[in-house]
Amino acid sequence: MTCSKLQLSIPEILVLRHGQTEWNVKGRLQGNFDSPLTRLGLRQAQIQNKTLKTCDLSGFRVFCSPHLRAQHTARIALDGLGLVTETSPDLTEIDLGAWSGRYREEIASEIGVQATDLTHEVLYNSLPSGEGLNGLYNRCAKFLKRLEGPSILVTHGVISRCLRLNAMKKSVANVWELPGGQGVIYRVKQLKHTLV
């Protein structure tokens, strides 16, 4: 006789991506490197703050990536909400290995495609080193299983998608079907995904 494991749903999560950075504008990949928020990035974090002030955040814990762009966004987005931010290395952006800090145009030339053809699928499926999407997806699954209640997660673009996929119990194959964006807030509650 075999026993099946009870599938527990993930608690409600609000996933914030950091605001636009200088490297985002320049087409330079950050991965585990960092660059400052732009003026637009600062405004995006302020908009996140206004949005969060309209939400009932009773019982929410806050976890943030240690990268400075996420930390800066968290300080602005959570200002005045009375929440304590915990830093978690599990929320760092995907490790791009040798491509961290490189320009998209350089990488496109290196792998023999036009810069306009360097889509997310091509880029993240061609990493010569680093974590890879499957590794990131599995890291997100482990992190979410440890959550004990509703949580705000301040993080990055690719990991935001993998966190949301896991919370909706969808496969990593669906990663590019989810919307992205800088300075956004997504809610996943009871397997349903919405833009806040």
Specify whether the CB–CB gap between 62 and 87 falls below 8 A.
no
Which domain covers residue 140, as residue numbers? 13-97+131-195
Task: Give the per-residue pLDDT at 120.
Answer: 87
- The verdict on residue 110 lying in a domain is no
Burial class (CB in 10 A: 0-12, 13-18, 19+), 78: buried
| DSSP assigned state of 178 | S
- The verdict on residue 55 lying in a domain is yes
Q: Tokens at residue 69, please?
A: 């762009």
Residues near 191 by beta carbon (within 8 Å), at least 6 away in sequence:
9, 167, 168, 169
Strand partners, 62: 85, 152
- The verdict on residue 107 lying in a domain is no
- CA proximity to 41, closest of 23, 20, 71: 20
Return the SS3 of 68. helix
- The verdict on residue 38 lying in a domain is yes
- The verdict on residue 22 lying in a domain is yes
- The verdict on residue 190 lying in a domain is yes
What is the domain-level CATH number for residue 19?
A: 3.40.50.1240
pLDDT means per 10 residues in the chain (196 residues)?
A: 49 97 95 96 98 97 98 98 97 94 92 88 85 95 97 97 97 94 96 95
Number of domains, the chain:
1
C-alpha 93/C-alpha 106 separation (Å) is 21
- The verdict on residue 50 lying in a domain is yes
Specify whether the CB–CB gap between 85 and 154 falls below 8 A.
yes
Return the SS3 of 88. coil
